[in-house]
A and B are shown apart, each in its own frame.
Chain A
Amino acid sequence: MRDVQDKLRATAKDLLASGKVELVLGFEPASLPMRTRACFARTADAAERLVWNEFCSQNLAAYLPRLFEKPAHIRGDWTPPKVAVVTKNCDARSIIGLVKEHQLARENVVIIGMPCQGMVDPEKAAATVDERIAQACLECVSPSPIGADILIEGQSRPAAADRFQRVKDFEALTPAQRWDAFVKEISKCTRCYACRQACPNCYCKSCFIEQSKPSWAGAGDDLADLLLFHIGRMFHQAGRCVECDACVRACPMGIDLRLFTQKLVKDVEELFGYVPGVSLDDLPPLCTFQSDDSECFVTGPGEE
Chain B
Amino acid sequence: MAQGSIKKADLGKLIEAVRRDGRFFGPIDQGDGACLAEVTPDAVLKLDYANFTLPPKRMFFPRSEVIATHEASGMAAVPVQEGQVVLFGVRPCDALALTYLDKVFVDKQFTDPYYRSRRERTLVISLACREPAATCFCTSVHGAPDGRAGADILAVEVGEALVLESLTKAGEAFMTHHAKLFASPTPAQRTACDAQASEAAKKVSAVPIDGLKAKLSGCAENAGVWDDIAERCLACGVCTYLCPTCHCFGLYDEQVGQTMRRVRAQDACTFPTFTQEASGHNPRTRHGMRMRQRVMHKFCYATENFGDIFCVGCGRCVASCPAHLDIRETITEVSQ
Direct contact between the two chains A and B in their complex (CB within 8 A): yes
Contact of B263 among A35, A198, A218 (CB under 8 A): A218
CB nearest neighbor in A for B315: A32
CB nearest neighbor in A for B65: A220
Is A193 in the interface zone, CB < 8 Å from B?
Answer: yes
Is A221 in the interface zone, CB < 8 Å from B?
Answer: yes
Does A193 lie within 8 Å of B263, measured CB to CB? no
Does A36 lie within 8 Å of B324, measured CB to CB? yes
| B139-154 residues at the A interface, CB under 8 angstroms | none
0/1 string, A170-192, CB within 8 A of B gives 1:
00000000000000000000111
Question: How far does the Cβ of A90 sit from chain B's closest Cβ, in whole Å?
Answer: 16
Which residues from chain B contact A30 at a C-beta distance below 8 Å? 324, 326
Does B286 lie within 8 Å of A221, measured CB to CB? no
Q: Which residues of A contact B (CB under 8 A)?
A: 30-33, 35-38, 40, 58, 62-63, 71-73, 190-194, 196-198, 210, 215, 218-222, 246, 249-250, 252-254
Known A31-B318, A36-B324, A221-B64; contact A197-B263, beta-carbon cutoff 8 A: no
Is B210 in the interface zone, CB < 8 Å from A?
Answer: no
Does A197 lie within 8 Å of B235, measured CB to CB? yes
Which residues from chain A contact B223 at a C-beta distance below 8 Å? none
Is B307 in the interface zone, CB < 8 Å from A?
Answer: no
Which residues from chain B contact A198 at a C-beta distance below 8 Å? 234, 236, 322-323
Which residues from chain B contact A210 at a C-beta distance below 8 Å? 271, 273
26 contacts between A and B (CB under 8 A): A30-B324, A30-B326, A32-B135, A32-B326, A37-B323, A37-B324, A37-B325, A58-B324, A72-B286, A190-B241, A192-B241, A192-B242, A193-B237, A193-B271, A194-B234, A194-B237, A196-B236, A210-B273, A218-B252, A219-B265, A221-B62, A250-B234, A250-B236, A250-B322, A252-B238, A253-B32
CB nearest neighbor in B for A211: B273
Is B254 in the interface zone, CB < 8 Å from A?
Answer: yes
**Extra 17 A-B pairs, beta carbons < 8 Å, given A190-B54, A198-B323, A220-B252:** A30-B326, A32-B135, A37-B232, A37-B323, A40-B231, A72-B286, A193-B271, A194-B234, A194-B236, A194-B322, A219-B252, A219-B263, A220-B65, A221-B64, A222-B64, A246-B322, A252-B238
Q: Which residues of B contact A (CB under 8 A)?
A: 32, 53-54, 62-65, 134-135, 231-232, 234-238, 240-242, 250, 252, 254, 256, 263, 265, 267-268, 271, 273, 285-286, 318, 320, 322-326, 328-329
Which residues from chain B contact A254 at a C-beta distance below 8 Å? 32, 53
Which residues from chain A contact B250 at a C-beta distance below 8 Å? 219
6 closest Cβ pairs, A-B complex: A220-B64, A250-B322, A197-B236, A30-B324, A37-B324, A31-B326
Does A220 lie within 8 Å of B232, measured CB to CB? no
CB nearest neighbor in A for B326: A31
Known A31-B324, A40-B231; contact A252-B242, beta-carbon cutoff 8 A: yes
Known A30-B324, A62-B234; contact A192-B263, beta-carbon cutoff 8 A: no
Which residues from chain A contact B252 at a C-beta distance below 8 Å? 218-220
CB nearest neighbor in B for A123: B32
Does B328 lie within 8 Å of A31, measured CB to CB? yes
Question: How far does the Cβ of A202 sit from chain B's closest Cβ, in whole Å?
Answer: 11
CB nearest neighbor in B for A221: B63
CA distance A255 to B239 in the complex (A): 17
Known A190-B241, A198-B236, A219-B252; contact A31-B263, beta-carbon cutoff 8 A: no
Which residues from chain A contact B64 at a C-beta distance below 8 Å? 218-222
Per DSSP, chain B at the interface is loop
Which residues from chain A contact B242 at a C-beta distance below 8 Å? 190, 192, 252
CA distance A196 to B235 in the complex (A): 10
CA distance A42 to B130 in the complex (A): 43
CA distance A198 to B236 in the complex (A): 8
Contact of A32 among B53, B65, B324 (CB under 8 A): B324
Does B285 lie within 8 Å of A218, measured CB to CB? no
Which residues from chain A contact B326 at a C-beta distance below 8 Å? 30-32
Which residues from chain A contact B268 at a C-beta distance below 8 Å? 192
CA distance A33 to B324 in the complex (A): 11
Which residues from chain B contact A219 at a C-beta distance below 8 Å? 64, 250, 252, 254, 263, 265, 267
CB nearest neighbor in B for A251: B322
CA distance A218 to B250 in the complex (A): 12
CA distance A196 to B285 in the complex (A): 20
Which residues from chain A contact B286 at a C-beta distance below 8 Å? 71-73
Does B63 lie within 8 Å of A40, measured CB to CB? no
CB nearest neighbor in B for A189: B63
Which residues from chain A contact B241 at a C-beta distance below 8 Å? 190-192
Which residues from chain A contact B256 at a C-beta distance below 8 Å? 218
CB nearest neighbor in A for B33: A254
Which residues from chain A contact B324 at a C-beta distance below 8 Å? 30-32, 35-37, 58
Which residues from chain A contact B238 at a C-beta distance below 8 Å? 192, 194, 250, 252
Question: How far does the Cβ of B304 sit from chain A's closest Cβ, in whole Å?
Answer: 28
CB nearest neighbor in A for B278: A212
Which residues from chain A contact B65 at a C-beta distance below 8 Å? 220
Does B285 lie within 8 Å of A72, measured CB to CB? yes
Does A221 lie within 8 Å of B232, measured CB to CB? no
CB nearest neighbor in A for B242: A252
CB nearest neighbor in A for B235: A197
CA distance A218 to B253 in the complex (A): 8
Does B54 lie within 8 Å of A193, measured CB to CB? no
Which residues from chain A contact B54 at a C-beta distance below 8 Å? 190, 253
Does A220 lie within 8 Å of B236, measured CB to CB? no
CA distance A108 to B64 in the complex (A): 43
CA distance A73 to B254 in the complex (A): 35
Which residues from chain B contact A35 at a C-beta distance below 8 Å? 324
Contact of A40 among B53, B62, B232, B325 (CB under 8 A): B232
Does A218 lie within 8 Å of B63, measured CB to CB? no
CA distance A194 to B235 in the complex (A): 8
Question: How far does the Cβ of A210 sit from chain B's closest Cβ, in whole Å?
Answer: 5
